[in-house]
Amino acid sequence: MDKHDLYGVLINSTLLGGIIRQEINTNSVHRGEPASGAINPSVMSVVDQIVGASFATLDIETALGELTGDSEYGQFGWTITGDGLSMYGYKHVDGGGRAGASSHRKYNFVKGLVIPQTLSVSHGGDAVLSYRVFPAYNGSADPVVLTEDQSVPGSITDANRYTLGPCTVGNISLDGLRGLDIDFGIAVEQEPIQSEVWPRVVSIRSAAPVITIRGIDLAWHADSGGIPLEGLAGTHANSTIYLRRRKTGGSFYADNEAEHVKFTAAGLITVQNMMSADGRSAAEASLMMSCYHDGDNLPLSVDTSIAIT
| Rg of the chain taking only CA atoms, in angstroms | 23
Give a yes or no: residue 41 inside a domain. no
39 lies in some domain: no
Asked, for residue 274, whether it belongs to a domain, the answer is: yes
In the 8-state DSSP scheme, what is residue 221? B
The count of domains in the chain is: 1
What contacts 95, CB < 8 A, 6 or more positions away? none
Asked if residue 218 is part of any domain, the answer here is yes
55 within some domain:
yes
Amino acid letter, residue 42? S
Q: What amino acid is encoded at 72 in this protein? A: E
Per-residue pLDDT of the chain (309 residues; tens, 9 = 90+): 888 899 999 988 889 999 999 999 999 999 999 999 999 999 999 999 999 999 999 999 999 988 887 676 677 888 888 768 999 999 988 877 888 888 999 999 989 999 999 999 999 999 999 999 999 998 888 999 999 999 999 878 788 999 999 999 999 999 999 999 999 999 999 888 888 889 999 999 999 999 999 999 999 999 989 999 999 999 999 999 999 999 998 899 999 999 999 999 999 999 999 998 887 889 999 999 999 999 999 999 999 999 999
Query: Which residues, listed in sequence order, are joined to residue 52 by a DSSP beta bridge?
Result: 25
115: domain range?
3-28+50-306
Instruction: Write the DSSP symbol of residue 152.
Output: P
Would 280 be classed as within a structural domain?
yes
Give domain status of residue 44, yes or no: no
Determine how many CB atoms are found less than 10 A away from the CB of residue 4: 14
DSSP one-letter code for 218: G
Helix (H) or strand (E) holding 3: strand 3-5
Alpha carbons 243 and 61: distance in angstroms, whole number: 10
Say whether pTM exceeds 0.85.
yes
Query: Could you tell me if residue 40 is inside a domain?
Result: no
Whether the CA torsion 287, 291, 297, 303 is positive or negative: it is positive
CA dist 148 to 21, 54, 75, 166, 182, Å?
A: 21, 20, 34, 46, 37
What are the backbone dihedrals phi and psi of residue 17, each rounded to the nearest 5 degrees, phi first? -100, -165
- Percent of the chain that is helix, strand, coil (3-state, to 5): 5, 50, 45
Q: Using alpha carbons, select from 143, 149, 10 the residue that is nearest to residue 84.
A: 10
Distance between CA atoms of 283 and 50, rounded to whole angstroms?
44
Nearest to 112 by CA among 91, 141, 81: 81
In three-state secondary structure terms, 24 is: strand
